[in-house]
Structure 1
Amino acid sequence: MSRTWNKADTALISSTLFFLLSLYLHLHVPSAIWTDGLLMVSEAALVGGVADWFAVTALFRRPLGFPYHTAILPRRRDSFIHAIVVMVQKEFFSRRKIFRHIEKIHLFPMLQEFLRKEATETRMTGTVLHFIRASFLRKKNKKVIAYLAERLKGILLREDPSELMNRFDALFRTNEWDRKALVRISCLLAQEVLTEETRQSIRDGLAELEREKIGDGFLSRLLEVTNTVNLDEGAELIQRHTCHVLNELGREYSPLQENAIALLHDCIGDLRQDAELLRLARELQERLACELPIEETLGRLFQGLRKHFQMDLQREVDPIAEHMPAFYTHLQSILHVEYQHMLFLIEERSELQKIITKVLYDLLARSALHAQTLVGVIVRNVLSRLTDEELNHLIYDKVEEDLLWIRVNGSLVGGCIGLLLFICMNIFS
């Protein structure tokens, strides 16, 4: 196999020269017993060396063109490749060895150390944010829209009308929205009262009242002639008095305003106890949940967001941080809190640690077993692409030293056997 001169070739040439020398001595000194022994030893050494050279060479090619049961490796390359694949899979990557090595790995401490790193938290929360952005960029968000619509409907139906009114009442008190609303309403009403249309409406109302009380008889005509009752002055007086009351109602912390606010909250408290009103409010909730176009509105909202997000991505700008900075900051804080909570649960819950460890070992074992098959496929593909000569060199280069010593040992063992036979022949003759 090797094209360089090696110890096995040296041993074979030496055996040949030793045989020729012994033959020469035997022919010239035929009566000496030592020449016979020397010839027999050299002859056995030469035969052993040639036989082992033939055997080693026959593994890889046809020695001297001999066709029978030679070039074993090229002829049996498929069986040989299959044997190597099986050996790699069953011996080097056997289930027993894989599981034994996996059991020596302390996976959970490695997982804890990995999760505690700030870079890990950044990557994981960044992945969540990426999925949130991607959800807005998808053209078809029917499942997300349907889920959000159902959640909104559930929230709407879950609210207790009495509790909802109570929360609104507390919210109005805390933020003084009741006072602000009363000031605004008073201002608007005062402006409306001062209009000519309002004054004329008041006068018409007084005239109608006069007709109802006095009628169209003599007394009515007498009052009209004597101008005893001036409807225009009465309408103007009512208009000014009403405007004064409204201004007093709109003045912050005035007694009238405080009484009106207290009366408002008392009315709200009474309404919370009204069974008929609560029933109507529940029916309104159900009607709103059924008839409001929540899904259509969400669909248009997602479509608009997708257009804006695509424009921002073309400018290489984070669309959530660009258009919803408060939401983005709040979302990051939520993800940070949830991540820290996850670490706390992993480190404190022993049953959770057992479950995670079991899952990790199961995943690693399954991956290793899958790699066992994959390694076999890779080995088969690589060896199948080799030519016969490349395959011979691949094997020979790995065991060259041992094959050379087999050939050297052939000459040595042959010579020893020849010497032993010569001694036995002379003893028993």
Structure 2
Amino acid sequence: MNYRNKANLTLLGVSIGFLFSIAIGHFFGKNFYTEMLMTIMEAALVGGAADWFAITAIYSKPLGVAYHTEIVPKNREKIIESISNFVENDLLSASSLESRIDKIKLCDRVVELSKNKKAYIEGRILQISNYIVSSVGEKNLEGFIFALREKYIYRLNTVKLIKDTSGKIYESKSNEILDFVIDIGIDFLNSEKGTQYIYDIIYKIKQEKTSGFFSRIGLAMMGKTENDVVDIDSLTAIFVEKAIEKLRELKEEDNSYRIDLHNAIKAYIDNIDKYEDELEKIKNYIVRDSNIKVLIQKLFSVTTVDICREEKESTTAALYLFEILKKVFYNVLENKKVLCSIETAVKKLVIKLIDSKHYIIGKMVRDTLNEFDNNKLNAFIDNKVGDDLQWIRINGSVVGSFIGFIIFLIVYFIYNPYIVPFIRRIF
């Protein structure tokens, strides 16, 4: 049972109670109890009826009375405008929104989210990568590469580009480049693959030197085999050790071999023009139709990858893009300065948007409420505060009956026995 029905039953109950008190007074005459009952029920009826009239007047015309009734329908525009202004200028004012945005610690939240939701974030990055790649599509990417080839690559002076670029890079980073190359050589010699490579070379040389007819006769005369002449394992170990030692010496800037290597690289870069034909052939081979189509097919081939212990399907191109975006994302997270700059820029952008579009909040509220006709607006308000308003009706009857009881006591025990005789004596 809703509160409206409860209020109606309460008013019906006090109405019946009032009629019952009249009947009691008629059959049993006037006495303390019958008068008290009638006074209480009369006050309860008056209170309930008055509150019923007042609450009903908010929405419609109670008993057809038009004076100061239908408060909501008659003031519909004022109500809508007041609600819109309240939401726009008070509840969600531009200054309050800007203040709340300014208090948000975006950097801390993003960093915390990245730690607690790593799998989710990387999954979303992969999803974005797949979306970008699928939006581009195989045909569009192929067409773009063909257009790029016709417009730029075919017209590109490969030799000049390589010469200028490599020359500038090597000139500014020559020591770092040489050290990097030397370290690669050392790492290779220290690896199992490098050792096996040296072993195979020495074995091949040994085979070539000991497999001849006269070599075999000579070894036979000495009573030895080809394995007795050369211990390949020992020779490989010695060669690797000496090679690494020499490579480490090359890392010294005043090493003569390093200087010669440096000059040889510079000379090679300076004289790269003589390889123009070969470089052009290589360029044209790389960008020929069949190679581009094979590349596109590989980029759009679907594969299964493990993202934070969760298997996901993705194209190869999306995986490349995913790795780039992931690296950028985590690099930004580790750089507090960049992260704070992004936060400041985002906040400024949002605040600027709020300043320019804040009126939309009031307009949205206004437009939404304007869609309500009188009945819908009444129902909307009644849905929000209707229960409290119906309780007012119930309280009217209850409070009225209590006040009626107090008034009866005052009239019966004070007014009639003391005040009325006093007034009569005066007049």
TM-score (norm 2): 0.49
Larger radius of gyration: 1
